[in-house]
């Protein structure tokens, strides 16, 4: 009996020793073999790979590639630990090499404060403090700010300006139109400053409509120098005036976001009754950028880039009493 008990104890000890050996070997493999020696960073535009790598490695446990993979599988942990990122994905290339694809928080503007350039995102959080200006986002001037701290909210007294800045940059960036400067003037008016063109927007009334119109008008001002006055612009009025450097002015009417000269509004056949005018209908653009046209009878169409209903010569159809709307085909008398 005693010999059997001794044999059992020996067998238990052997099993325990084997398990301990396996555990130690596993730990050696995990912490020895799976050790990050190389991080390959991709997806970054605003931040250097070295900056992102340094931010990742502030968590010492990320030196282990398996831990790094585990941590980056939870996007909430990524955003919490690296505040200038909007997320990141990590993939294991080898036990000691990890590919990290990052999603940066979009910088929507920057301002000059105490000799430094302060970059902030759409939530007003400061995501970078640099000694260099940027060409990819606009300089914001006229904001009343106090001391700025990295990863803290931009200390602007009027928080309503955040919404205005976000609306401006979001709408402009949709068509790749980035001003050099967004200037908030002392009388609560906004000016956009491009290389050769200034755009006076007035206050933030009808701001999205103004931006939609500007996106289409600006391309037609290529090579010109002067100021675009949009203070009175609205979806209904569509009034825009351009004043060149020589002092000459040009009135532009744009209710659909496109530039149409007011001097060419009448289109009809000779001898017709009621004439068709482009101002008889209304062009508009929705939040998704889709253009629509509503004729004088209230009929709407999205086929409004060119006339759909004309005679064989391309003229407006009229019978002496009214006309066929060239976009919708409705009879207007």
Q: Please give the pLDDT value at position 312.
A: 80
Q: Please give the pLDDT value at position 259.
A: 39
C-alpha 183/C-alpha 199 separation (Å) is 10
**pLDDT range class, residue 8, cuts 50, 70, 90:** low
CA atoms within 13 A of residue 89's CA, in its CB half-sphere: 5
Model's pTM, two decimal places?
0.61
Asked if pLDDT for residue 54 goes beyond 70, the answer is yes
Asked if pLDDT for residue 322 goes beyond 60, the answer is yes
What is the arithmetic mean of pLDDT over 57-73? 88
pLDDT (tens digit, 9 = 90+) per residue, 149-197? Answer: 888 888 877 777 778 888 888 777 776 788 999 998 866 789 999 988 9
Which has the minimum average pLDDT: 24-33, 135-144, 235-244?
Answer: 24-33
Q: With contact defined as beta carbons under 8 Å apart, do 107 and 46 qualify? A: yes
- Starting from the edge strand earliest in sequence, which strands make up the sheet with 97-104, in order? 38-42, 97-104, 85-94
C-alpha 318/C-alpha 300 separation (Å) is 20
**pLDDT range class, residue 305, cuts 50, 70, 90:** confident
Q: What are the boundaries of each domain within the chain?
A: 38-104, 106-184, 265-332
What is the arithmetic mean of pLDDT over 305-314? 82
Which has the minimum average pLDDT: 68-72, 198-202, 311-315?
Answer: 311-315
pLDDT (tens digit, 9 = 90+) per residue, 251-268? Answer: 764 544 443 433 333 443
Q: Please give the pLDDT value at position 10.
A: 65
Residue partners of 215: CB distance under 8 A and separation at least 6: 171, 172, 174, 175, 177, 257
- Is the domain spanning 38-104 CATH 3.10.20.310? The answer is yes
Which of the two residues, 165 and 227, has the higher pLDDT score?
A: 227
């Amino acid at each position: 009996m005693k010999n059997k008990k001794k044999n059992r104890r020996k067998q238990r000890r052997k099993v325990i020793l084997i398990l301990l050996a396996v555990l130690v070997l596993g730990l050696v493999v995990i912490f020895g073999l799976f050790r990050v020696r190389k991080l390959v960073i991709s997806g970054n535009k605003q931040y250097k790979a070295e900056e992102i790598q340094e931010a990742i490695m502030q968590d010492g446990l990320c030196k282990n590639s398996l831990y790094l993979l585990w941590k980056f599988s939870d996007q909430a942990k990524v955003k919490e630990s690296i505040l200038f990122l909007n997320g990141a994905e990590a993939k294991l290339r080898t036990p000691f090499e990890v590919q990290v694809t990052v999603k940066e928080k979009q910088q929507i503007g920057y301002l000059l404060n105490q000799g430094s350039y302060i970059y902030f995102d759409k939530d007003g959080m400061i995501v970078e403090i640099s000694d260099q200006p940027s060409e990819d986002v606009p300089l914001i001037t006229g904001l009343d700010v106090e001391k700025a701290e990295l990863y803290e909210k931009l200390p602007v007294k009027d928080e309503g300006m955040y919404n205005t800045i976000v609306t401006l940059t979001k709408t402009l960036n949709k068509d790749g139109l980035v001003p050099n400067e967004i200037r908030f003037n002392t009388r609560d008016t906004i000016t956009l400053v491009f290389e050769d063109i200034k755009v006076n927007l007035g206050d933030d009334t009808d701001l999205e409509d103004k931006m939609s119109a500007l996106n289409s008008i600006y391309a037609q001002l290529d090579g010109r120098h002067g100021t675009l006055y949009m203070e009175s612009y609205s979806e209904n009025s569509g009034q825009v005036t351009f004043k060149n450097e020589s002092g000459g002015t040009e009135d532009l009417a744009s209710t659909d976001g496109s530039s149409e000269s007011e001097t060419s509004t009448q289109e009809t056949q000779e001898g017709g009754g009621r004439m068709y005018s482009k101002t008889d209908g209304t062009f508009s653009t929705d939040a998704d950028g889709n253009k629509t046209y509503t004729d004088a009878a209230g009929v709407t169409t999205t086929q409004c880039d060119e006339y759909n209903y004309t005679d064989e010569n391309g003229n407006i159809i009229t019978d002496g009493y009214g006309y066929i709307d060239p976009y919708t085909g409705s009879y207007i008398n």
